[in-house]
A and B are shown apart, each in its own frame.
Chain A
C-alpha cells in the first residue's frame, strides 16, 4: 500500500487463493493489519489508543444491540424497562453497566488519542484528512452519547435534552422553530425519545463507516511516529503483524482490565445519581450537568454571560461549537514544519498548558457554579481560544525547533546505544539524540 517494500500478499492455502482471486478480502486484511502494512518501528504507547478506540466502538455496538432488545422507547416505559433489565434479566446488569461505562471509556480513549495527535502533530501534512475524519468521528460520538444518555429517561436525561436542544433557540429567528423541529414538540417527550433512540441506533454504524475512511486515509500515507520524521527505508518500519498486533493486544488487555474494574466495582462512579430518578418535567434538578466528557464544553457555554453585539447566550453557543470546529483548521493554523512536540521547545510548554486548561474547564463545568468557579471557567475559556487561534499560529512563526534525527532508525538505535554505554553522565535529550548519534 504505502511503501514499496510492503510485503505482497501470497496466499498459502489453496482455499485462500481461490477466495482471493474472486474477492480479495484476505488481501485487504493482510495489507491493512497484517504483515503487508509497514509501520514505523518507534511507536510508543500513545499509539495504542486508536486500536483501543476501535475495541470500544465494538463493545458499544455489541452491548447496545443487546440493550435494544430489552428497551422500550416510550416516555412511560423507558425507565422501567432499564430497571427490569438490571433486575430480572440474566446478566442484564452486566450488559447495561458495560454499555454505560463503555461510553465513558470510549471517550477517555478518544481524548487521549486526540491529545496524542495534538502533541505529535498528527494533523499536519500529509495527514490532514486523517485528522479531519477523526474529528467527524468525534462529533458523531458526541451526538450519539448525548442521545444515548437521554434514553433511560432519568432526570438528567430529560433535563440534559432540554438544555442541549435549547442551544438551538439561541439563534435568532430560526432557532426556536429548529428546536421544535428537532424535538418534534415544545419540550422533550415521546416524539423526541423515539427519534433519539432511532438515531442512537443508527449513528454508531455511521461512525463505523467514517472509521473505515479514517483508517483508509491513514494507510495511504502510513502511520506517523514520535519523532515526526518521515519513513525513509525498510529499516525504519516493522510489519504491523506480529509486532503491533501483539503490542496493541497486550495493551488492550491491560486497559480493559481497568474498564472491568470500574464496570464491576464502581459502575455508577462516573454517572450522576439524579439519573436514577425517573424523568419529571415538573421538577428541575438543582444542578443540571451533562456527562463528564462534556464538562469542558459546558464550562465554555456557561462562561459567556455578557452580550456584546450578539446576545450572551448566542456567544456561549457559538463558542461551544467553535471550540471543536476550530480543530478542523489546525493543519493551517500551526504551520511549523516540525511535527513532533519533542522537538518544539516552546510548543511543548503551551501544549501542557492546554492540557491543564482543559482539565480546569472540566472542573469548572462539572460542578455547581460558584462565583469563583465561574470566574476560573471564564479565564480558562479565554485561554482555550487564545491557544488555538492566536498562540499556536504565533509559535510556529517564532519558534526555533531542536535538530531532528536523520532517520527513525538512527533515533531508535542512537537511544539504545546511549543506554548501553552511558559515556556521558548526562542522559541525552530525545531531541539531541540525533546529533549525539
Chain B
C-alpha cells in the first residue's frame, strides 16, 4: 500500500517544498519549452524528410556592385552638379517615359544648379502636362507645368501604367535609392546588370540553366541577376552608347549613364542630405578637425586632404548657399557666426566640453 502512494506523495511533496509560485512557473516554463522543442523537432524532421528545394534566385542572385558617389559618407555632398545634371538628363530622356517622380518639384532643381529661368523652361517644356480644369467649360484639361508643380506622372493612374507595361507597375523613382536594399549601388547594378540568360554562369562557374532548367526567364521578362528573383519586367532601359548626348562632353557610355542617373536618384530621394551632413559636422565633430572630400568631379574619394576646421565652415557656408536658399534654414548658429566673421567654436554648436577623442575627424575615419 505504501509503495502505491510513494510516487504521488513524492511528487506532491516536491511541489509543496517548491511553493506555489515556483510550481506554476515550472509548469508554465516547462510547457513553453516543451512546445518550442516539439516545434524544433518537427522542423528538423521535416527538413530531413523533404529538404527544401534550393531556388535559382538563392544561388544566382548577386549583391550590388560597388559604386562610389560624392554623396557617400559623412562628408558626402551634391557638389558634383555636372554629374547630377547629366543624371537628370537621363531621367528626362529615358526613365521618365514610364517612371513617375511624384515627390520632387521642378523648383527643387535649383539644388542641381539650374537657375530660375532654366527651371521655368524645363517645367513648361516637360513632355507630360499637369491635369487641370478648362476654365470655360469645366471639363478636364491639362496645362503646362510650372516650377511649383511636382513632376507630372507619365500615366494617368495605376491601371493605365500597368496596361502599358505588360501588367507591371513602374515604381515611382523619387525615393528609389532609399527604398531598396543597397540604395544607389543597387540601381546602378540593375541598370548595368542585364545579361543573356543562355549560357549565363555565376562566379563559381555554375551555369544557371544547367543547374535550374526550370528557371528560364518567361517571355516579357528580362534576366537580371541583381534583381531578387532574377527576372525583371523592365526591359533594359540603357542599351547603347550615345543614347543620351551629354552637353558637357562626357562620353555617354551605358555605365556612365547608369552612374549619373544613380547619383541623381540619391539627390531625389533626399535633397537635404548635404544640409544634414553639414549640420551634423559642428554638432558631432565640434569643429576640431574635419576631412572634406575635395576630389575631382568623377573620381570621388581620391585626393582626400586634411583641412583645418575652417574648411568645415566653408562646407557649411556653401551648403547653405548652394542648396535652396528660399527655405532659408541656417545651420545651428554656425552660419550666423560665419557671417559675423567670427570663427565658430565648439560652443557655437551648443557643445563645449567634448574631448577630441570623441570627434569624428581623422581619428575616426571609418564612420560611413
Interface residues of A (CB under 8 A from B): 80, 83, 86-88, 90-91, 93-94, 97, 250, 253-254, 257, 260-261, 263-265, 267-268, 273-277, 286, 303-306, 308, 312, 315, 319, 322, 326, 329, 332-333, 371, 374-375, 378-379, 381-383, 385-386, 388-390, 393
Contact = CB atoms under 8 A, between A and B. Distances in A.
A393 B367 contact: no
B178 interface: yes
B279 interface: yes
16 contacts: A83-B103, A254-B358, A264-B283, A265-B74, A265-B280, A265-B284, A273-B179, A275-B179, A277-B175, A305-B42, A319-B35, A329-B25, A333-B21, A333-B22, A379-B36, A381-B36
B26 A393 contact: yes
B42 A390 contact: no
A93 B272 contact: yes
A298 to B, nearest CB: 15
Nearest to B52: A371
Interface string B89-129: 00000000000000100001000000000000000000000
B30 to A, nearest CB: 7
A273 B32 contact: no
A252 B40 CA distance: 43
B327 interface: yes
B351 interface: yes
B14 interface: no
Main secondary structure of the interface of A (DSSP, over half): helix
Given A306-B42, A332-B21, 16 more contacts: A86-B272, A87-B103, A90-B329, A93-B270, A253-B354, A261-B360, A265-B74, A265-B360, A273-B178, A277-B175, A305-B43, A378-B36, A379-B40, A381-B36, A382-B40, A390-B33
B40 to A, nearest CB: 4
B44 interface: yes
B179 A276 contact: yes
Which residue, B26, B28, B270, B279, has most C-beta atoms of chain A within 10 A? B28
B36 A390 contact: no
A382 B25 contact: no
Interface string B49-79: 0001000000000000000000000100000
A260 B276 CA distance: 11
B9 interface: no
A72 B100 CA distance: 23
Nearest to B41: A306
A60 B107 CA distance: 32
B357 to A, nearest CB: 11
Nearest to B34: A308
A265 B367 contact: yes
Which residue, A88, A265, A312, A388, has most C-beta atoms of chain B within 10 A? A265
Interface of B: 18, 21-22, 25-26, 28-30, 32-40, 42-44, 47, 52, 74, 103, 108, 171, 174-175, 178-181, 228, 269-272, 275-277, 279-280, 283-284, 327-329, 351, 353-354, 358, 360, 367
Contacts, number: 147
A379 B25 CA distance: 19
A335 B45 CA distance: 40
A301 B228 CA distance: 27
A254 B36 CA distance: 42
B28 A389 contact: yes
Contacts of A382: 32-33, 36-37, 40
B25 A389 contact: yes
Nearest to A276: B179
Nearest to A97: B276
Contacts of B40: 375, 378-379, 382
A379 B38 CA distance: 10
A382 B34 CA distance: 8
Contacts of A275: 179
Contacts of A265: 74, 276-277, 280, 284, 360, 367
Contact of B280 (A264, A315, A375, A386): A264
Contacts of A374: 43
Contacts of B329: 90-91
A371 B22 CA distance: 34
Contacts of A326: 25, 28
Given A261-B280, A276-B178, A322 B28 contact: yes
B367 A261 contact: yes
